[in-house]
Structure 1
Amino acid sequence: MMYQQEASFRDAMRRLAATVTIISTSGQGRRHGITATAVTSLSMDPPSLLVCVNRSGSLHDLLAETDRFCVNLLREEQVALSNVFSGKLAPEERFLHGSWAEDEHGLPYIADAQSSIFCRKQDAIQYGSHSIFIGEVESTLVSEDIRPLLYGNGSYGRCAPLEAAA
Protein backbone atom coordinates (compact mmCIF):
# COMPACT_ATOMS: atom_id res chain seq x y z
CA MET A 1 0.00 0.00 0.00
CA MET A 2 2.87 2.38 0.80
CA TYR A 3 4.26 2.04 -2.73
CA GLN A 4 0.87 2.98 -4.21
CA GLN A 5 0.68 6.00 -1.91
CA GLU A 6 4.21 7.13 -2.90
CA ALA A 7 3.49 6.64 -6.60
CA SER A 8 0.18 8.49 -6.32
CA PHE A 9 1.85 11.37 -4.45
CA ARG A 10 4.61 11.54 -7.07
CA ASP A 11 1.96 11.69 -9.82
CA ALA A 12 0.11 14.44 -7.97
CA MET A 13 3.29 16.50 -7.55
CA ARG A 14 4.00 16.29 -11.29
CA ARG A 15 0.93 18.49 -11.67
CA LEU A 16 2.38 21.22 -9.45
CA ALA A 17 4.09 23.47 -12.00
CA ALA A 18 6.84 25.68 -10.59
CA THR A 19 9.37 28.27 -11.69
CA VAL A 20 12.75 26.67 -12.35
CA THR A 21 15.55 28.04 -10.18
CA ILE A 22 19.25 27.53 -9.74
CA ILE A 23 20.30 27.63 -6.10
CA SER A 24 23.89 28.88 -5.91
CA THR A 25 26.37 29.33 -3.09
CA SER A 26 30.08 29.44 -2.41
CA GLY A 27 32.30 28.38 0.44
CA GLN A 28 35.57 26.61 1.18
CA GLY A 29 37.01 28.19 -1.97
CA ARG A 30 34.46 26.63 -4.30
CA ARG A 31 31.15 27.42 -5.98
CA HIS A 32 28.23 25.09 -6.31
CA GLY A 33 24.70 25.20 -7.65
CA ILE A 34 21.78 22.96 -8.53
CA THR A 35 18.55 23.23 -10.45
CA ALA A 36 15.55 23.21 -8.11
CA THR A 37 11.80 23.80 -8.06
CA ALA A 38 11.25 23.17 -4.33
CA VAL A 39 11.40 26.88 -3.48
CA THR A 40 8.63 29.02 -2.01
CA SER A 41 8.13 32.32 -0.24
CA LEU A 42 7.77 32.08 3.53
CA SER A 43 7.07 35.58 4.84
CA MET A 44 7.03 39.21 3.79
CA ASP A 45 7.96 40.38 7.30
CA PRO A 46 10.79 39.59 7.36
CA PRO A 47 11.12 38.83 3.64
CA SER A 48 12.12 35.18 3.56
CA LEU A 49 11.85 31.97 1.58
CA LEU A 50 12.25 28.21 1.86
CA VAL A 51 14.57 26.04 -0.21
CA CYS A 52 14.25 22.26 0.08
CA VAL A 53 17.39 20.26 -0.78
CA ASN A 54 17.88 16.49 -0.72
CA ARG A 55 20.36 15.57 2.02
CA SER A 56 22.09 13.11 -0.33
CA GLY A 57 22.46 15.78 -3.04
CA SER A 58 25.79 17.31 -3.97
CA LEU A 59 24.85 20.85 -2.84
CA HIS A 60 23.49 19.92 0.58
CA ASP A 61 26.64 19.85 2.72
CA LEU A 62 28.08 23.09 1.33
CA LEU A 63 24.72 24.84 1.72
CA ALA A 64 24.53 23.57 5.31
CA GLU A 65 27.98 25.05 6.06
CA THR A 66 27.64 28.46 4.38
CA ASP A 67 25.84 31.58 5.57
CA ARG A 68 24.45 32.79 2.26
CA PHE A 69 22.81 31.45 -0.88
CA CYS A 70 21.14 32.88 -3.97
CA VAL A 71 17.92 31.75 -5.63
CA ASN A 72 18.14 32.51 -9.37
CA LEU A 73 14.76 32.35 -11.14
CA LEU A 74 15.35 31.28 -14.73
CA ARG A 75 14.00 32.82 -17.93
CA GLU A 76 12.12 30.67 -20.44
CA GLU A 77 15.15 30.66 -22.77
CA GLN A 78 17.48 29.22 -20.08
CA VAL A 79 16.48 25.56 -20.49
CA ALA A 80 20.05 24.55 -21.41
CA LEU A 81 21.40 26.21 -18.25
CA SER A 82 18.81 24.38 -16.16
CA ASN A 83 19.95 21.09 -17.67
CA VAL A 84 23.63 21.87 -16.97
CA PHE A 85 22.87 22.44 -13.27
CA SER A 86 20.76 19.27 -13.02
CA GLY A 87 23.85 17.26 -12.10
CA LYS A 88 25.38 16.15 -15.38
CA LEU A 89 28.61 18.13 -14.81
CA ALA A 90 30.96 18.59 -11.86
CA PRO A 91 29.98 21.60 -9.71
CA GLU A 92 32.76 23.99 -10.89
CA GLU A 93 32.25 23.02 -14.55
CA ARG A 94 28.62 24.13 -14.35
CA PHE A 95 29.71 27.73 -13.86
CA LEU A 96 31.40 27.73 -17.28
CA HIS A 97 27.86 27.97 -18.69
CA GLY A 98 25.61 30.99 -18.38
CA SER A 99 26.33 34.59 -17.48
CA TRP A 100 27.65 34.48 -13.89
CA ALA A 101 28.65 37.35 -11.63
CA GLU A 102 29.44 37.64 -7.92
CA ASP A 103 27.98 39.92 -5.27
CA GLU A 104 30.04 41.75 -2.63
CA HIS A 105 30.20 38.55 -0.53
CA GLY A 106 31.51 36.42 -3.43
CA LEU A 107 28.11 34.78 -3.87
CA PRO A 108 27.60 33.65 -7.49
CA TYR A 109 24.43 34.73 -9.30
CA ILE A 110 23.13 34.65 -12.86
CA ALA A 111 23.47 38.17 -14.27
CA ASP A 112 20.63 37.71 -16.77
CA ALA A 113 18.25 35.67 -14.60
CA GLN A 114 14.54 36.46 -14.38
CA SER A 115 15.44 37.55 -10.86
CA SER A 116 18.09 36.74 -8.26
CA ILE A 117 17.20 36.63 -4.58
CA PHE A 118 20.16 36.92 -2.21
CA CYS A 119 19.57 35.29 1.17
CA ARG A 120 21.27 34.90 4.52
CA LYS A 121 20.57 31.44 5.90
CA GLN A 122 18.57 31.68 9.12
CA ASP A 123 17.81 28.05 9.86
CA ALA A 124 17.86 24.52 8.51
CA ILE A 125 15.31 21.88 9.45
CA GLN A 126 15.69 18.22 8.56
CA TYR A 127 12.56 16.44 7.42
CA GLY A 128 12.52 13.05 5.74
CA SER A 129 15.07 12.92 2.93
CA HIS A 130 15.48 16.71 2.73
CA SER A 131 16.67 19.76 4.61
CA ILE A 132 14.49 22.86 4.55
CA PHE A 133 16.72 25.93 4.45
CA ILE A 134 15.15 29.21 5.57
CA GLY A 135 16.71 32.24 3.93
CA GLU A 136 16.09 35.83 4.95
CA VAL A 137 16.21 38.03 1.86
CA GLU A 138 19.02 40.58 1.94
CA SER A 139 18.60 41.94 -1.60
CA THR A 140 17.08 41.16 -4.99
CA LEU A 141 17.75 41.84 -8.65
CA VAL A 142 14.61 41.80 -10.79
CA SER A 143 14.31 41.82 -14.58
CA GLU A 144 11.76 44.12 -16.21
CA ASP A 145 10.65 41.35 -18.56
CA ILE A 146 8.50 38.63 -16.97
CA ARG A 147 9.06 35.32 -18.81
CA PRO A 148 9.80 32.61 -16.23
CA LEU A 149 10.86 29.09 -17.14
CA LEU A 150 8.33 26.64 -15.68
CA TYR A 151 8.54 22.91 -14.99
CA GLY A 152 5.56 20.60 -14.63
CA ASN A 153 4.63 17.03 -15.54
CA GLY A 154 8.26 16.27 -16.37
CA SER A 155 8.57 19.02 -19.00
CA TYR A 156 9.64 22.61 -19.33
CA GLY A 157 7.01 25.19 -20.17
CA ARG A 158 6.27 28.89 -20.23
CA CYS A 159 3.70 31.15 -18.66
CA ALA A 160 1.03 32.68 -20.87
CA PRO A 161 -2.02 34.69 -19.83
CA LEU A 162 -5.39 33.01 -20.26
CA GLU A 163 -7.92 34.77 -22.42
CA ALA A 164 -10.86 36.20 -20.51
CA ALA A 165 -13.94 33.97 -20.48
CA ALA A 166 -16.67 35.08 -22.88
Structure 2
Amino acid sequence: MSATAALGIAPAPAPISDAFRSTMRRFPATVTVISACRNGADHGMTATAVTSLSMDPPSLIICLNNRTYLHDMLLEVPEFAVSVLTDRQAAVSEGFSGKIAPERRFDAADWVRHERGMMVLGSAHASVVCRRMGAVPYGTHTIFIGQVVDTRHSDDTIALMYENSKYCAPQHALPASQN
Protein backbone atom coordinates (compact mmCIF):
# COMPACT_ATOMS: atom_id res chain seq x y z
CA MET A 1 0.00 0.00 0.00
CA SER A 2 1.36 3.41 -0.93
CA ALA A 3 1.84 6.16 1.65
CA THR A 4 -0.86 8.14 -0.17
CA ALA A 5 -3.37 5.30 0.11
CA ALA A 6 -2.40 4.67 3.74
CA LEU A 7 -3.23 8.29 4.58
CA GLY A 8 -6.57 8.07 2.79
CA ILE A 9 -5.58 10.63 0.15
CA ALA A 10 -7.71 10.45 -2.97
CA PRO A 11 -6.09 11.45 -6.27
CA ALA A 12 -7.21 14.87 -7.48
CA PRO A 13 -9.23 15.10 -10.69
CA ALA A 14 -7.00 16.02 -13.66
CA PRO A 15 -8.52 19.52 -14.16
CA ILE A 16 -7.77 20.44 -10.53
CA SER A 17 -4.26 18.98 -10.72
CA ASP A 18 -3.51 20.92 -13.91
CA ALA A 19 -4.96 24.17 -12.54
CA PHE A 20 -3.05 23.75 -9.27
CA ARG A 21 0.23 23.10 -11.12
CA SER A 22 -0.34 26.23 -13.23
CA THR A 23 -1.20 28.31 -10.15
CA MET A 24 1.84 27.11 -8.19
CA ARG A 25 4.09 28.19 -11.06
CA ARG A 26 3.04 31.76 -10.18
CA PHE A 27 4.28 31.46 -6.58
CA PRO A 28 7.73 33.11 -6.58
CA ALA A 29 10.17 30.90 -4.69
CA THR A 30 13.73 31.16 -3.44
CA VAL A 31 16.09 28.82 -5.30
CA THR A 32 18.19 26.53 -3.11
CA VAL A 33 20.44 23.52 -3.42
CA ILE A 34 19.86 20.78 -0.84
CA SER A 35 22.98 18.69 -0.18
CA ALA A 36 23.91 15.66 1.87
CA CYS A 37 26.72 13.13 2.15
CA ARG A 38 26.39 9.37 2.62
CA ASN A 39 29.40 7.10 3.01
CA GLY A 40 31.68 9.75 1.49
CA ALA A 41 29.45 10.31 -1.56
CA ASP A 42 28.02 13.81 -2.00
CA HIS A 43 24.69 14.49 -3.64
CA GLY A 44 22.60 17.59 -4.15
CA MET A 45 19.60 18.90 -6.04
CA THR A 46 17.86 22.18 -6.73
CA ALA A 47 14.73 22.78 -4.65
CA THR A 48 12.29 25.63 -4.11
CA ALA A 49 9.99 24.00 -1.53
CA VAL A 50 11.94 25.20 1.51
CA THR A 51 10.63 27.35 4.36
CA SER A 52 11.12 28.11 8.04
CA LEU A 53 9.07 26.04 10.47
CA SER A 54 9.87 27.35 13.94
CA MET A 55 12.11 29.86 15.69
CA ASP A 56 12.18 27.80 18.90
CA PRO A 57 13.72 25.42 18.19
CA PRO A 58 15.14 26.97 15.02
CA SER A 59 13.96 24.65 12.25
CA LEU A 60 12.91 24.49 8.63
CA ILE A 61 11.17 22.12 6.26
CA ILE A 62 12.07 20.94 2.79
CA CYS A 63 9.71 19.03 0.52
CA LEU A 64 11.19 16.49 -1.89
CA ASN A 65 9.59 14.28 -4.50
CA ASN A 66 9.58 10.66 -3.36
CA ARG A 67 11.18 9.54 -6.64
CA THR A 68 14.42 11.51 -6.23
CA TYR A 69 17.71 10.00 -5.17
CA LEU A 70 18.18 12.74 -2.55
CA HIS A 71 14.82 11.81 -0.99
CA ASP A 72 16.03 8.28 -0.29
CA MET A 73 19.40 9.58 0.90
CA LEU A 74 17.80 11.99 3.40
CA LEU A 75 15.85 9.11 4.92
CA GLU A 76 19.20 7.52 5.79
CA VAL A 77 21.55 10.37 6.75
CA PRO A 78 21.21 12.40 9.95
CA GLU A 79 21.96 15.85 8.50
CA PHE A 80 21.59 17.97 5.36
CA ALA A 81 22.41 21.48 4.17
CA VAL A 82 20.44 24.16 2.33
CA SER A 83 22.38 26.70 0.24
CA VAL A 84 20.32 29.69 -0.96
CA LEU A 85 21.62 30.75 -4.37
CA THR A 86 22.39 34.33 -5.38
CA ASP A 87 20.99 36.07 -8.43
CA ARG A 88 24.30 35.29 -10.18
CA GLN A 89 24.10 31.53 -9.61
CA ALA A 90 21.38 30.39 -12.04
CA ALA A 91 23.97 28.10 -13.69
CA VAL A 92 24.46 26.33 -10.35
CA SER A 93 20.71 25.79 -10.14
CA GLU A 94 20.63 24.42 -13.69
CA GLY A 95 23.47 22.02 -12.93
CA PHE A 96 21.78 20.66 -9.82
CA SER A 97 18.48 20.36 -11.72
CA GLY A 98 19.95 17.59 -13.85
CA LYS A 99 21.94 19.41 -16.53
CA ILE A 100 25.18 18.09 -14.97
CA ALA A 101 25.80 14.47 -13.99
CA PRO A 102 25.40 13.96 -10.22
CA GLU A 103 29.06 13.04 -9.71
CA ARG A 104 30.21 16.33 -11.35
CA ARG A 105 27.78 18.81 -9.77
CA PHE A 106 30.08 19.95 -6.97
CA ASP A 107 32.99 20.59 -9.39
CA ALA A 108 31.60 23.98 -10.43
CA ALA A 109 31.36 26.97 -8.06
CA ASP A 110 32.98 27.26 -4.64
CA TRP A 111 31.57 24.30 -2.73
CA VAL A 112 33.24 23.64 0.61
CA ARG A 113 32.91 20.71 2.96
CA HIS A 114 31.15 21.74 6.16
CA GLU A 115 32.64 20.40 9.39
CA ARG A 116 29.55 18.16 9.70
CA GLY A 117 30.37 16.44 6.40
CA MET A 118 28.11 17.81 3.68
CA MET A 119 28.92 20.34 0.97
CA VAL A 120 27.85 23.98 1.37
CA LEU A 121 28.17 26.69 -1.28
CA GLY A 122 30.74 29.18 0.02
CA SER A 123 29.34 32.13 -1.97
CA ALA A 124 25.68 31.36 -1.20
CA HIS A 125 23.26 34.13 -0.25
CA ALA A 126 22.63 32.08 2.89
CA SER A 127 23.21 28.53 4.09
CA VAL A 128 21.68 26.42 6.82
CA VAL A 129 22.87 23.06 8.12
CA CYS A 130 20.21 20.91 9.76
CA ARG A 131 19.82 17.73 11.76
CA ARG A 132 16.95 15.70 10.33
CA MET A 133 14.25 15.49 13.01
CA GLY A 134 11.45 13.90 11.01
CA ALA A 135 10.09 12.89 7.64
CA VAL A 136 6.38 13.03 6.86
CA PRO A 137 5.20 11.44 3.60
CA TYR A 138 2.26 13.05 1.82
CA GLY A 139 1.17 12.29 -1.72
CA THR A 140 4.07 12.46 -4.16
CA HIS A 141 6.41 14.19 -1.68
CA THR A 142 7.95 13.90 1.77
CA ILE A 143 8.26 16.82 4.18
CA PHE A 144 11.66 16.71 5.90
CA ILE A 145 11.95 18.60 9.18
CA GLY A 146 15.42 19.93 9.99
CA GLN A 147 16.59 21.47 13.25
CA VAL A 148 19.19 24.16 12.54
CA VAL A 149 22.70 23.43 13.82
CA ASP A 150 24.61 26.08 11.84
CA THR A 151 23.81 29.05 9.63
CA ARG A 152 25.49 31.87 7.74
CA HIS A 153 24.33 34.63 5.41
CA SER A 154 25.57 37.52 3.29
CA ASP A 155 24.26 41.06 3.48
CA ASP A 156 25.90 41.86 0.12
CA THR A 157 24.04 39.49 -2.23
CA ILE A 158 20.55 39.13 -3.69
CA ALA A 159 18.65 35.83 -3.61
CA LEU A 160 17.83 33.98 -6.82
CA MET A 161 14.09 33.48 -7.29
CA TYR A 162 12.05 31.28 -9.64
CA GLU A 163 8.60 32.16 -10.97
CA ASN A 164 6.61 30.82 -13.92
CA SER A 165 9.56 28.76 -15.20
CA LYS A 166 11.93 31.75 -15.16
CA TYR A 167 14.74 32.87 -12.90
CA CYS A 168 14.32 36.32 -11.41
CA ALA A 169 15.51 38.46 -8.51
CA PRO A 170 13.96 41.12 -6.30
CA GLN A 171 14.72 44.50 -7.88
CA HIS A 172 14.12 46.90 -5.02
CA ALA A 173 12.37 47.25 -1.70
CA LEU A 174 8.90 48.76 -1.68
CA PRO A 175 8.22 51.68 0.68
CA ALA A 176 6.46 50.87 3.93
CA SER A 177 2.69 51.17 3.90
CA GLN A 178 1.28 54.50 5.05
CA ASN A 179 -1.88 52.92 6.56
Determine whether 1:38 maps to 2:49. yes
**What does residue 154 of structure 1 align with?**
165
Name the TM-score, length of structure 1 as normaliser: 0.95
Q: Deviations over 1:23-44 (max 9, x none)?
A: 0110122000000000011000
Tell me the SS of whatever aligns to 1:101.
strand
Aligned counterpart for 1:49 among listed residues 50, 60, 82: 60
What is the root-mean-square deviation in Å for CA atoms of aligned residues? Answer: 1.6
Determine whether 1:3 maps to 2:14. yes
**What does residue 118 of structure 2 align with?**
107
Q: Distance in 2 between matches of 1:57 and 1:116?
A: 22
Name the TM-score, length of structure 2 as normaliser: 0.88
Q: Deviations over 1:113-166 (max 9, x none)?
A: 001101000000111111110000011011121400000111000112255489
Tell me the SS of whatever aligns to 1:81.
helix
Runs (4+) of structure 1 exceeding 3 A deviation are 162-166
Q: Which moved more, 1:3-12 or 1:83-92?
A: 83-92
Q: Distance in 1 between matches of 2:142 and 2:28?
A: 21
Q: Distance in 1 between matches of 2:92 and 2:54?
A: 29
Aligned counterpart for 2:149 among listed residues 138, 154, 157: 138
- Aligned AA for 2:70? L
Bigger radius of gyration, 1 or 2? 2
Tell me the SS of whatever aligns to 1:65.
coil
Percent identity, aligned pairs only? 45
Q: Deviations over 1:101-120 (max 9, x none)?
A: 01112111000000110100
Tell me the SS of whatever aligns to 1:6.
helix
Q: Deviations over 1:45-64 (max 9, x none)?
A: 00000000111012111111
**What does residue 86 of structure 1 align with?**
97
**What does residue 98 of structure 1 align with?**
109
Aligned residues: 166
Determine whether 1:19 maps to 2:33. no
Determine whether 1:116 maps to 2:132. no
| 1:38 to 1:163, Cα distance in 2 relative to 1, 3 A | closer
Tell me the SS of whatever aligns to 2:107.
coil
- Aligned AA for 1:79? A
Q: 1:86 deviation in Å?
A: 0.1
Unpaired segments of 5 or more residues in structure 2? Answer: 1-11
Tell me the SS of whatever aligns to 2:69.
coil
Determine whether 1:62 maps to 2:85. no
Q: Distance in 2 between matches of 1:158 and 1:46?
A: 30
Q: Distance in 1 between matches of 2:165 and 2:22?
A: 10
Unpaired segments of 5 or more residues in structure 1? Answer: none
